[in-house]
Structure 1
Amino acid sequence: MRSLRAIAIALLLSYSAQAAELPDLGEVARTTFSAAQEAKLGREIMRQIRIDRDYLDDPELTEYLNNLGDRLAAASEDPGRHFEFFVVRDATINAFALPGGYIGVHTGLFSATRSESELAGVLAHEIAHVTQNHIARIVAVQNNALLPTLAALAVAILAARSNAQVSQAAIASAQAYSVQSQLDFTREHEREADRVGFQTLSRSGLDASGMASFFERLQTQTRLYENNAPAYLRTHPLNFERIADMQNRLQDVAYHQVADSLDYRLLRAKIQAQQGEANDAVKRFANQSYQDEQDEAVRHYGMAVALLRANQAERAAAELQAIPRKIGQSAIVQNLAADVAFARGRGGEALALLRNGLAANPDSRPLAYAYAKALLRQGQPTSALELLHKQLRLHPDDAQLYELQAQAYQALKRTMESHMAQAEAYARRDEYRAAVEQLQLALKSGDRDFYRLSIAEARLRQLQALVERQEVTR
């Protein structure tokens, strides 16, 4: 397996294949594999995934996916549960749930959905795997025997970055007692996730038919291309009975049409424009038909993304100009317009676009990131700091804001504060050792300000304690 993404999927396969039966009560399972243990394992896996090349750090996609996921989680059976949704750069159709409520979605799956409710249906299914405590329940059935398997897989994830053969051996060892005959019980998990996920999707106000329509299309694709089944079906066994169950549930739900959000449509176009060769993407969008004004606007946006990839900034600008003003005020369109302006050598125009865009969309973190980066790029670190201070008051746990703050301080030659901000960025990603190193550098920077020294020393002690705790629990 080449990457952490593949190993994360292997983790899903491993715990699914261990199911001998489903205990009636999730609380019983928690006596064997506690919520704290699961959360700890999930954080360790995510710490490694975030530095993998396939992890897609796209603020717009991440914000959208988490907003949609949070809407579904609020309608789930456990609305207080921690969830974090992330994007994997992979053209295959797949999604997966990890310990601790972390849910990954391939760009290929996002692109393959035909409606927002279809995407939501997949997320609702993955959320159900988490809320039903499937990992903990499997551990309980195995009477603790699975804990070494999970630990071995965590080791495999760590090994994968430097030695793929070592990681494969670790995975093979961890899965040694997984028996093919137990796959029937994997289907039991899937049926439960279908049922609970369907209820979540219905309560969220989205189109409840989205789950059935997407899975039915995957099943059809499997019949047509037996040797090239979507990756999602290899990790989530699907059969006609499950699809029939979903369709039967639809009979009890009043149909109401739900329009796709503009953000969904734009971001789906963005993913499609970033797939394959840039010139091929340009041709695909040039040949696209459209039915209404929003369709046409989405096509122009996708074409602009593809043209910018192909280093045709002037043509990209013309495509954006063709987008109606109302749709053009979208934070996603404004962000692209600023990128195009920079590519045309118009930094001042880019700043104005981002400033006005953020004023119109004050809750858009992607625009805030882009505006801060633009201010730094244009040699305005003081203005960038003012913006970042405001954003951090609203979002004190945002690692990217701290990283940008570190860059702004460095541009102003405020070295100690730069190291302190970078330490907070690392800490927000559970990289405590790296955070400690940054604070040690801060204390050696020569800054004699007593107040800042006191803060840095106190924070260093806190993070050193977290490093020790992290080492003990590994």
Structure 2
Amino acid sequence: MQLFPLLRSALLAVALSASPVGAQSDLKLPDLGTSALQVLPLEKEQAIGEVMMMQLRSQSPLIADPVLEEYLSSLGNKLVANANDVRFPFTFFWINNNDINAFAFYGGHVGVHTGLIAQSDTESQLASVLGHEIAHVTQRHLARRLQNARDNSAMTIAGMITGILATIIAPDAGLAILAANSTQASLNQLTHSRKAEQEADRFGMQTLHNAGFDPYAASEFLTKLSDQIRYKNKPPAFLLTHPLPDSRVSDVRLRAQQYDKKYYASSPSFYLAKSRALARYYYKPETAEGYFKNAKERSSDLDKSALDYGLAISLLDQKKLDEAGAIIEKLITKDKYNLFYLDVYTDYLIAIEQTGKAMEILKQQHELRPNNQVITLNYANAAIEAKDYDTAEQLLKVFLLEKPEHVLAKELLTKTYEAQEDKAAYHEAKASLMSHYGAFSKAADEIQRALNHVEDHEDVKRTRLKALLSQYRDMQKEIAKL
């Protein structure tokens, strides 16, 4: 478990008793001390980020969607590759929330609400927000908050970190709670300062341009948010933690004028990702069906593949299999290597009980692109549906060697062992899944159950499980001491 020594060395305590699905947990961090406030070491920043990520997993509707994950990671890492002062790898993830919002916190974790892509008109608009959030991390704005908090007697460092997480999960509720219980100085620590916003705007726009996106999209996005303030009583969630004074839109617009104004095309993947977010997360399936049918009638584009794709998802999710099948068959024939189409086509084949055909197609794709998460996880899922558990197990174990923290792969492997009635492996896999959410005590309990199902001759397995048990219990002891 790679996270364990990092957390131990950083002396971070997290009292988490979350279960893997929908449980609540409490984050407890010790005061980092004045020396840490002078300069927050990168290792400690990453450790704080991992703890906050555990908390976020247990409290928020993170999306386990390999297709959208693939798109977001590709877009995000393209921006990171063109950013300044990058000190560690970034992690990008989706939250199922219709608000226009994105956020970044310690250790390069960047969360994006599905509502952001649903309401972005172009890929450059979406990229402008990601570039802005990346700049908050690379310029260490959160680390600076810890420094500034040294003079803020109304809020401890641990309380501040918890407060940052609260505003990430629900900005309006989090800030309201803090406003009722803290001084204005404390509250200000949980929103980006005007100086930090200006700096993130400047560095973010440079990153946007370097990565080949439209610098003018940043002002377009802020204008859209500004217009929403005018017509709504409640401001967009993004503005609750990213202040928008009157001068900011004009400042960003003026800054963009240093770049040539030209046309920047959005990638086909952007439109497909947007359609998927609209169909599967933003709208209910029946509403999405109406939306895509109307959009197809209004659209003048010759290629309406993205709209057809969204319509196929909405029909499939309503079990209108014949209509969905006609559309997705047409799309997959047109582009059989497209991961968006392949994912929905697999769902369709499973729905009409043609798992054998799904496995045959995915096996061919897997040979071409081994360990691609969309292909591998769809292949494993189809194998589970076909009761070919040996194939599913092999696929998932190899995949997890490369991506050991992939939650959906862990869930599918747990499901595979349960179906095989391999109780020792099932409880071990379940323990790994629980540790992903910081539930170390429950993970230890699962390892103990796994040990109860180890055969007398399986000495190596017993030794390995006992080492895992000791590791989980040691982490729990660290929590208890702190």
Normalising by structure 2, report the TM-score. Answer: 0.81
Are the structure 2 counterparts of residues 174 and 66 from structure 1 closer, same or farther at C-alpha, using a change threshold of 3 Å?
farther
Deviations 1:132-153 (A, max 9, x none): 1112212212326379445236
Aligned to 1:249: 255
Q: What SS class does the counterpart of residue 331 from structure 2 fall into?
A: coil
Are the structure 2 counterparts of residues 306 and 400 from structure 1 closer, same or farther at C-alpha, using a change threshold of 3 Å?
closer
Of the candidates 199, 204, 211, which is equivalent to residue 206 of structure 2?
199
**1:461 corresponds to which letter in structure 2?**
S
Are the structure 2 counterparts of residues 471 and 261 from structure 1 closer, same or farther at C-alpha, using a change threshold of 3 Å?
farther
Aligned to 1:311: 319
Q: What SS class does the counterpart of residue 104 from structure 1 fall into?
A: strand
CA distance in 2, matches of 1:255, 1:194: 18
Of the candidates 111, 114, 125, which is equivalent to residue 118 of structure 1?
125
Of the candidates 406, 409, 421, which is equivalent to residue 413 of structure 1?
421
Are the structure 2 counterparts of residues 324 and 37 from structure 1 closer, same or farther at C-alpha, using a change threshold of 3 Å?
closer
Deviations 1:308-367 (A, max 9, x none): 122211101111133263434311111101111222232223323433443454353033
Q: What SS class does the counterpart of residue 63 from structure 2 fall into?
A: coil
Gaps of 5+ in 1: 1-10, 12-27, 161-165
The farther-off stretch of 40-49 and 367-376 is: 40-49
The farther-off stretch of 207-216 and 427-436 is: 427-436
Kindly state the Cα deviation for residue 113 of structure 1 after the two structures are TM-superposed: 0.7
CA distance in 2, matches of 1:96, 1:159: 12
Identity of aligned residues (%): 30
Kindly state the Cα deviation for residue 216 of structure 1 after the two structures are TM-superposed: 2.1
Matching of residue 327 in structure 1 with residue 335 in structure 2: yes
Matching of residue 75 in structure 1 with residue 82 in structure 2: yes
Deviations 1:206-255 (A, max 9, x none): 232222221222223333x1524322223212244322332333333345
- The answer to whether the 8 Å contact 2:214/2:264 transfers is yes
The farther-off stretch of 173-182 and 401-410 is: 173-182
Are the structure 2 counterparts of residues 133 and 301 from structure 1 closer, same or farther at C-alpha, using a change threshold of 3 Å?
same
Are the structure 2 counterparts of residues 150 and 241 from structure 1 closer, same or farther at C-alpha, using a change threshold of 3 Å?
same
Aligned to 1:457: 466
Aligned to 1:297: 305
Aligned to 1:21: none
Gaps of 5+ in 2: 1-26, 28-34, 168-172
Matching of residue 209 in structure 1 with residue 216 in structure 2: yes
Q: What SS class does the counterpart of residue 219 from structure 1 fall into?
A: helix
Kindly state the Cα deviation for residue 65 of structure 1 after the two structures are TM-superposed: 1.5
Are the structure 2 counterparts of residues 54 and 189 from structure 1 closer, same or farther at C-alpha, using a change threshold of 3 Å?
same
Are the structure 2 counterparts of residues 89 and 406 from structure 1 closer, same or farther at C-alpha, using a change threshold of 3 Å?
closer
Matching of residue 438 in structure 1 with residue 458 in structure 2: no
Aligned to 1:264: 270
CA distance in 1, matches of 2:158, 2:42: 15
Of the candidates 469, 474, 477, which is equivalent to residue 468 of structure 1?
477
Deviations 1:423-446 (A, max 9, x none): 333334444333322221111114
The farther-off stretch of 451-460 and 33-42 is: 33-42
CA RMSD of aligned residues (A): 3.3
Are the structure 2 counterparts of residues 408 and 226 from structure 1 closer, same or farther at C-alpha, using a change threshold of 3 Å?
closer
- The answer to whether the 8 Å contact 2:77/2:90 transfers is yes
Aligned pairs (5 A) from 1:270-281: 270-274=276-280, 275-281=282-288
Are the structure 2 counterparts of residues 228 and 116 from structure 1 closer, same or farther at C-alpha, using a change threshold of 3 Å?
same
Aligned pairs (5 A) from 1:45-124: 45-52=52-59, 54-124=61-131
Kindly tell me the number of residue pairs found equivalent between the two proteins.
441
CA distance in 1, matches of 2:174, 2:460: 47
CA distance in 2, matches of 1:36, 1:182: 23
Are the structure 2 counterparts of residues 149 and 51 from structure 1 closer, same or farther at C-alpha, using a change threshold of 3 Å?
same
Of the candidates 378, 385, 395, which is equivalent to residue 387 of structure 1?
395
Aligned to 1:7: none
Deviations 1:368-416 (A, max 9, x none): 1121122112111111122123323333343433332333233333322
Kindly state the Cα deviation for residue 298 of structure 1 after the two structures are TM-superposed: 0.8
**1:230 corresponds to which letter in structure 2?**
P
Are the structure 2 counterparts of residues 158 and 280 from structure 1 closer, same or farther at C-alpha, using a change threshold of 3 Å?
closer
Matching of residue 233 in structure 1 with residue 239 in structure 2: yes
CA distance in 2, matches of 1:231, 1:98: 16
CA distance in 2, matches of 1:170, 1:62: 32
CA distance in 1, matches of 2:376, 2:190: 47
Normalising by structure 1, report the TM-score. Answer: 0.82
